[in-house]
Structure 1
Amino acid sequence: MTSDKYYIPFLIPALILTLAFAIRLPVIMRFWRIDPNVRSVGGLLLLGSAVFYFGRPSMLARMNRTTGVPNFAAPLLYSLLTMFCASCLIMIIHWRGGDPRRVRRTNWTIGTVYAAVVTGLWTTFSFADVPVERLRDLDTYYANTPWMREHILLYLGAHSAACLITAVVTWAWLREVSGWLRAGLVLLVVGFILNLCFDTVKLTAVVARWTGHDLDWLSTYVAPPIAAVCALFIAVGFILPHAGEALQGLWTDYRQYRSLAPFVRELAGLDTGSLRLPRRSPMSRRLVQRRTQISDGLLRLQPYMDPEVRSRALAQALARDEAPAQAAATADAVAVVAAVRSLRLGVEPDPGTDAGPDAAADRGPAPGSDRAPDLVAVSRALRRSPVVTSFRARSGPPDPAESVSP
């Protein structure tokens, strides 16, 4: 039995690939039947995990003992690695897209070729004479053995070809994408290039045996850590676009939620009919609820909106060299402050404001009209704009309002 210290290069990448598969599992289950791209990514991560789980020396020994065939685990492990290679190529074909018939034909060709490779692995192993169990140096120990030599070259060649094609196609695709997807593809390119380094190290050690030299340490001690680093880059490459976009969306929702707090405080006390959500509700749902609360408040204020107040505020904001969009938000904020004051002071609304949607549209782009304002920009103006502050000072002390937790 081998020492536990040799498990680390296998268990760490296995756990990382399993984590990547678990993160994508909800998407895989939802779109398994309708999206071949989802199937290819799921199969790739599952096969990658299996390669490292079954590649542990203790697992290899267990499979050999179970079957009673020395080194039976070798063709099984190399078959998993070969199917992983095929999954990489199929994934790239689906990502690139194009004519569906060409995509199906290419995938059929890849499946046929790599099925033939798997068949060749089992055929060459069945003809080879490998009576001595080798758990960590099988490639170099049997490098000169007939049929086993071909067995080793077959899996290394199939793996190298798949990694080279995947790296080249992914690298070319980098120029067409951006953001989190590009970052993930960069990591995938690095991972597949390192896979080529793994194959080079393995092949160098095997060729050294052919020429009568001993470079077994390359295959035994250098290749496994390289494989672990490869798996790290590939797993993170698959996780990053999905997790990055999710975290970015969560952060954007959180920032908008916080930014809308001044608006909610301004409308505090108005009867909007909005329900409070539990504190543990998803941020996206809380943001929708806060936007709905503000929209309901603006509808409540619509009869009290004064277009003259908004026009004067807009002119003042433009005079302060505010950008047009920011000036519009400032004017909307002043209109909201004025409407809230009118409502709380019991000022009778202009009868013309109750004439329906058409009359509301004639009053201009004020909050609650047909052209909805940027709620986040208006909320920020309520808190920061000197124009709004000046208007509050001229209008007297504000009415007390209930505080709203951000």
Structure 2
Amino acid sequence: MTGADYYIPAVALAVSLFFKLPALRHNWRDPLLRSVCALLVLAAAVFTFAAPPTIAAVNSWTGISNFSAPLVYCLITAFSASCLVLIVNWRGGPPERTRRVSRRWILGYGCVIVALVVLFALGEAPVERLRDLDTYYAETPFIGEMIVLYLVAHTVAAVVMTAMCWRWSLRVGGWLRLGLTVIVIGYLFNLGYDVTKFTAVFARWAGYDLDALSTYVAPPIASAGALISAIGFVLPLLCQHLADNWRAWSTYCRLGTLWRELRAAGPTATATAGVRMSWWSPAELRVIQRESDIHDGFLQLGPYFDQEQRAWALRQAVGSGADEATARAVADAAMVAAAVMASAADPEGKIIGSSQDNGLDIADGPRDLVRISHALRHSPVVATVRSRAAMAGSNLR
């Protein structure tokens, strides 16, 4: 693997971290957000410092042969701990228990990091090895133990993560289950990395040469595992965000019939159609604005609302087999349609000046508005009310 194979994912992780920083600044006390940011920092650091050009540069800067080895091993160990802490916080539970388990993982892997540094200081590794240090020094006192220790710590984290995510995935569904399953697949790759590394090291101990497994096979497996695991962590959050946006845009579009119906009554019915919004405005804001326009229209049409008309439409909807929520929406839609036509027939606003505001009670918020909008377009009861109102207007003329 070349330096670019390491630096490209490092840059991608850094960009992800950049977009997380504003949220971290405003929600510093959120343990889940802190865990995500810590994982991104450590993952980017692992890819950056594990690249052969960086290894050579760090060794040169420090003047210590193979100084990068304990540095990279410590970063990998810290990254393993961050994954475990993230899962603990992501899974949730009693806050005190979550903090206690997180501290134990951090303390345990912190001790491993200290031990890695001590073992490197006690050993001797004078010949710089950029790609095959694990097998080259597998039989060197203290350095060999350092190599085995970081592999054991990484393996433990991979096994625990695989078991935790798999058990959790069996109890949940949707995007979260898919994300956990992807994480499990990623950590199976990480276990494959550990197996190939251990095989090469044990082969050295036994007098065989399987260095190629460690030098050429293990790094691509580790990169694939890291990429797949990162996708697993991001997938539920991304898909949930997309699902929320889809629901918002769907609500916005489904409210269109009701919104246009009220606009047809003239500027007074919708408070001049609300505030103009830019094309990049988020869907949630657009929904809020459209709901506000609709409620303004209801307020303006209040004097034209006929509760007897609504009661008749409600009986018709119930008689046709509609459930309570649908029947109420059909009745409201019929009253709105009749009110719009009555408002159009009263351009001088005589009814507004002499009537009380009957209002329209939306008990179920946005969902009722969507049902009313749907009924305006599709309900035969509303169509009947329109016809009756049109006929009444013709008779008056």
> Normalised by the size of structure 2, how large is the TM-score?
0.88
Matched, 1:94 2:103: no
Residue 28 of structure 1 is matched in structure 2 by: 24
- For 2:66, what is the secondary structure of its paired residue? coil
**Of 229, 233, 256, which residue of structure 1 is paired with 2:228?**
233
Q: How many residues align?
A: 384
Matched residue, 1:336 = 336
Structure 1's 338 and 35: CA in aligned 2 closer, same or farther, altered over 3 A? same
Inter-partner Cα distance in structure 2 for 1:108 and 1:322: 56
Quote the residue 1:114 is aligned against: 109
Question: What whole-Å deviation, never above 9, does each CA across 1:25-68 have from its counterpart, x for those lacking one?
Answer: 33222222x22232222111210111011111111111111112
Aligned to 2:385: 391
Choose 172-181 or 136-145, whichever is displaced more.
172-181
Matched with 2:361 is: 369
Identify if the C-alpha distance between structure 1 residues 235 and 81 changes in structure 2 by more than 3 Å, giving closer, same or farther: same
Deviation (angstroms), 1:126? 2.0
Q: How far apart, CA to CA, are the structure 2 residues paired with 1:127 and 1:236? A: 39
Asked if residue 278 in structure 1 is aligned to residue 278 in structure 2, the reply is: yes
Choose 21-30 or 223-232, whichever is displaced more: 21-30
Structure 2: stretches of 5+ with no match in the other structure: none
Aligned partner letter, 1:340: V
Aligned residues of 2:362 and 2:369 also touching (Cα < 8 A): no
Deviation at 1:370, TM superposition (A): 6.2
> In structure 1, what is the Cα distance between the partners aligned to 2:376 and 2:310?
14
The residue that corresponds to 1:254 in the other structure is 249
Give 2:180's aligned residue. 185
Query: RMSD of the alignment, in Å?
Result: 2.6
Partner of 2:375: 381
Please give the alpha-carbon distance, in whole angstroms, between the structure 1 residues aligned to 2:226 and 2:152.
Answer: 19
Q: Give 1:170's match in structure 2, choosing from 165, 181, 191.
A: 165
Give the aligned partner of residue 363 of structure 1.
none
Determine if the alignment matches structure 1 residue 218 to structure 2 residue 216.
no
* Residue deviations 1:145-202 (CA, integer Å, cap 9, x gap): 2221101101001111122112212222224433333332222222222211111111
| Partner of residue 243, structure 1 | 238
Query: Aligned residue for 1:404?
Result: none
Aligned counterparts of 1:100 and 1:334: Cα–Cα separation in 2: 51
Shift of 1:74: 0.6
Identity score, percent:
43
Letter in 1 for 2:215: T
Which amino acid in 2 is paired with 1:216? D
Give the Cα separation in 1 of the matches to 2:291 and 2:392. Answer: 23
User: 1:111-149 CA deviation, whole Å, 9 max, x = no partner?
Assistant: 332222112212222232222211111111221222211
Deviations 1:204-239 (A, max 9, x none): 111111112222221112111111111112222222
Deviations 1:341-387 (A, max 9, x none): 11121285499962x7xxx4xxxxxx713646711111122122233
1:39 equivalenced with 2:31 (yes/no): no
CA distance in 1, matches of 2:178, 2:94: 27
SS in 2 for 1:66: helix
Q: 1:263 aligns with which of 258, 261, 265?
A: 258
Find the aligned partners of 1:218 and 1:341 in 2 and give their Cα distance: 80
Which moved further from structure 2: 337-346 or 308-317? 308-317
Structure 2 counterpart of 1:282, which letter? P
| Partners of 2:362 and 2:99 in 1: CA distance | 49
Q: Secondary structure at the match of 2:275?
A: coil
Change (3 A) 1:308 1:242: same
1:300 matched to 2:300? The reply is yes
- Per the alignment, residue 17 of structure 1 pairs with 13
Q: What amino acid is aligned across from residue 396 of structure 1 in structure 2?
A: A
- Taking the aligned partners of 1:185 and 1:25, their CA distance within structure 2 comes to 24
User: Residues 100 and 266 from structure 1, CA distance in 2 versus in 1: closer, same or farther, beyond 3 angstroms?
Assistant: closer
Unpaired runs of 5+ in structure 1? Answer: 361-366, 400-406
SS at match of 2:259: helix
Deviations 1:227-259 (A, max 9, x none): 111111222222222222222111111111111
Using a 3 Å threshold, how does the CA distance of structure 1 residues 391 and 109 change in structure 2: closer, same or farther? closer
Amino acid at match of 1:305: F
Residues 1:396 and 1:191: Cα distance change in structure 2 (over 3 Å): same
Instruction: Give the one of 126, 136, 142 matched to 1:147.
Output: 142
Partner SS for 2:278: coil
- Which range is displaced more, 163-172 or 60-69? 163-172
2:125 alignment partner, one of 123, 130, 136: 130
Q: Separation in 1 of the partners of 2:77 and 2:167?
A: 24
SS at match of 2:109: helix
Name 2:56's counterpart in structure 1: 61
Instruction: Supply the AA of the counterpart residue of 2:382.
Output: V
The secondary structure found in structure 2 opposite 1:69 is: coil
